[in-house]
Structure formats: C-alpha cells, structure tokens
Amino acid sequence: MKQLLEDEDHLQRVKTELSVWDVCLNLSDLSVLDFILDRFKMFGMQWEPEGFLDIACTVQYPRTPALALPEILSEAITALATQDFHVIARRRAEFFKKWSSRARELEREEAILRSSMDAEVERAVRGKRI
C-alpha cells in the first residue's frame, strides 16, 4: 500500500476513479496496512463526469432502430400503419381461408399418417393439424 501512496501518478488516478464513483475513502488511512502491492491495473480512460457527458452526448447510436428490424417485420409494420383497417382485415381473412382450405384437402392424408404413429406421438399431436 505504501507503494501506491508514494507513486503520485497512481495515487491521483485512484483518487479520480474513487471520486467518479462517489466513493469517500481516505487513502492515507490505508498506509497502516501491511501488504505489498505487486500489481495495480486501471482499465479504460479516466474522465471527469462533465467531460464524459460532453463526449457521450455527441455520440450517435451505431445503428438506427429501423435498420435493426428484419426487413419482413419492417414491411409488416409499414403495412399495418399505412393500410386501411378493412384492407388488413380482408388480407387476414384471405390468409386463413387459404390455409383452412388446404388443411381440409389434407385431412385424409393426415388421418392415414396419424393411424401409423406411435401412441405417444399421436397423443402429443392430438388436436393439432400436422
């Protein structure tokens, strides 16, 4: 500890770090501790809070939220936000009509498939369309 207190550069860096984190610690009180400081590491750049905020306020987000969305989700959001409600409702109804019709077409093949399933598998998919 005495090594730290004698090295003015390290001592100042530690004091700055403690003040940034609003830690009230009198380092000279630690001089009574009997240990040897074999390593001292500081990570990152030491900033005064005001300086840090000045820089942080000028930095822009590296990726705009619009670019972070998958394209298909962005298109869906745009469609929902710009189309009339009746158009959206009609498209949804057409979608479900198409797939309900397809499910009816496949009922016979699905029944054959289910009859050949293991009992545990059949129980797991019971009530679900395959």
d(CA 105, CA 31): 85
Q: Match 């770090």 to its residue by tokens.
A: 17
Q: What is the pLDDT of residues 107-126, one digit of tens each?
A: 999 999 999 999 999 999 99
Tokens of 111: 């029944």
Q: Give dist(CA 53, CA 51) in Å, integer.
A: 5
CA distance 85 to 77: 13
Could you tell me the pTM of the whole model? 0.42
Sign of dihedral through CA atoms 4, 6, 8, 11? positive
pLDDT single digits (tens) 64-76: 776 678 889 989 9
